[in-house]
């Protein structure tokens, strides 16, 4: 689970009072660090803009990094070059997973997260599962201050067993970690699915991908710009606005095939990790990828091979339907 503070709708007011601006809380909830983190985020956004200006449009070339899960694990390179990177995630395991990158504060590693961040989240979840949500959310007071300085920088969304998903993001050099916090029997996968990855200065000369369909995420919902045709399609996911939702995280988007027995109410309810049934395997739908949460102003690209049929585009937030963050698309 992430470094952003966990908050329930119940605990939201308390946590926000302690943490400052809600919009900033996805990047930092320590007032002393707010300015630094904001600057950093602004710098990242402007660097990305520069890169977009300077680099030629992609001529189909990609820099692909393969990630593989065979169980509760990640197999990936220790180092990847900065720039536009396509993360191709092979889920060779029997459970749904994802691969979320976080840019860690200087000097921090996945080991620090394992020791100081994962345990309070698991204890919180255990208490929520035991019917003690207030005590559970209180556990998140135990999170170390540095954890709030991590910045989620996207990555492949939910991927069903046996599927391969591709998500392209722009990565600045730095020390990152990759994690999955799906749950099995109430236990976050993060206990094992949490690895360091270093993004190095050696920038690769690959342009920004070209999209077939634009997807826009604002605080008012998700919008899909065009009709979607069957075949291999690339979606540009624009994080036009970002906010802290009731479960303590920003929004994102995941794509699920709707088949005969897919229950969209069940899919919507599954999107809240702080619910005992939320993010618990087996997933209620066959997910084929997505774009994990990023700060406002960033864009991620999802490339997916779509068969004709219906698909749900849904954000991993509490109450995605009420928030306009669950859209059904007919692919023809």
Residues that bind Cu ion (CB under 5 A): 97, 180, 182, 189, 193
Looking at the Cβ atoms of 98 and 170, the one nearer to Cu ion is: 98
**Rg from Cα positions in the chain:** 18
CB of 95 to Cu ion, least distance (A): 6
CB of 112 to Cu ion, least distance (A): 20
Tell me, rounded to whole angstroms, the distance of Cα 329 from its chain centroid. Answer: 21
Do residues 303 and 232 touch, judged by C-beta distance below 8 A? Answer: yes
Minimum Å distance from CB 189 to Cu ion? 3
H helices present in the chain, as ranges = 12-19, 31-54, 110-116, 118-129, 133-139, 264-270
With vertex at residue 255, the alpha carbon angle to CA 254 and CA 256, rounded to the nearest 5 degrees, is: 120
> What's the min distance (Å) between Cβ of 113 and Cu ion?
15
Q: What is the DSSP letter of 35?
A: H
Compare residues 86 and 91 and give the one whose CB is closer to Cu ion: 91
Peptide bond into 234 cis (omega under 30): no
Given a contact cutoff of 8 angstroms between Cβ atoms, the answer to whether 291 and 214 are in contact is: no
CA distance 215 to 243: 17
User: Pairing state of beta strands 64-69 and 309-314?
Assistant: unpaired
Please state the closest distance from residue 122 (CB atom) to Cu ion, in A: 14
The neighbour count for residue 60, using CB atoms within 10 Å, is 9
The least CB distance from residue 316 to Cu ion, in Å, is 13
Q: Looking at beta carbons only, is 189 or 245 nearer to Cu ion?
A: 189
For residue 214, give both structure tokens: 């634009």
Query: 325, 241 in Cβ contact below 8 A?
Result: no
Among residues 97 and 298, whose Cβ is nearest to Cu ion? 97
Shortest distance, CB of residue 193 to Cu ion, whole angstroms? 5
């Amino acid at each position: 689970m992430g470094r952003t503070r966990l908050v329930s709708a119940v605990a939201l007011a308390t946590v926000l009072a302690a943490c400052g601006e809600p919009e900033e809380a996805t990047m930092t909830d320590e007032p002393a660090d707010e300015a630094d983190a904001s600057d950093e985020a602004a710098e990242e956004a402007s660097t990305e803009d520069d890169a977009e200006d300077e680099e030629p449009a992609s001529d189909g070339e990609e820099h692909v990094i393969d990630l593989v899960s065979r169980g509760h694990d990640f197999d990936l390179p220790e180092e990847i070059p900065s720039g536009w990177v396509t993360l191709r995630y092979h889920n060779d395991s029997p459970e749904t997973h994802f691969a979320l990158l976080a840019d860690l504060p200087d000097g921090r590693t996945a080991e620090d997260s394992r020791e100081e961040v994962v345990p309070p989240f698991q204890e919180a979840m255990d208490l929520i599962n035991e019917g003690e949500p207030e005590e559970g959310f209180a556990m998140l007071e135990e999170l170390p201050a540095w954890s709030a300085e991590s910045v989620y920088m996207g990555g492949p969304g939910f991927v069903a067993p046996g599927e391969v998903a591709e998500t392209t993001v722009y990565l600045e050099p730095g020390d990152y970690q990759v994690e999955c916090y799906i749950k099995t029997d109430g236990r976050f996968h993060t206990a094992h699915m949490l690895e360091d990855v270093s993004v190095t200065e050696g920038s690769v000369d690959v342009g920004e991908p070209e999209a077939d369909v634009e997807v826009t995420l604002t605080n008012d919902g998700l919008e899909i710009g065009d009709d979607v045709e069957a075949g291999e399609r690339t979606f540009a996911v624009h994080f036009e606005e970002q906010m802290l939702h009731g479960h303590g995280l920003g929004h994102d988007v995941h794509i699920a095939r709707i088949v005969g027995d897919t229950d969209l109410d069940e899919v919507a309810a599954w999107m809240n990790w702080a619910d005992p049934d939320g993010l618990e395997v087996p997933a209620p739908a066959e997910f084929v990828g997505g774009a994990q949460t990023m700060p406002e102003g960033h864009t991620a690209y999802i490339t997916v091979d779509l068969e004709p049929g219906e698909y749900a585009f849904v954000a991993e937030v509490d109450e995605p339907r009420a928030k306009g963050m669950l859209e059904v698309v007919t692919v023809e």
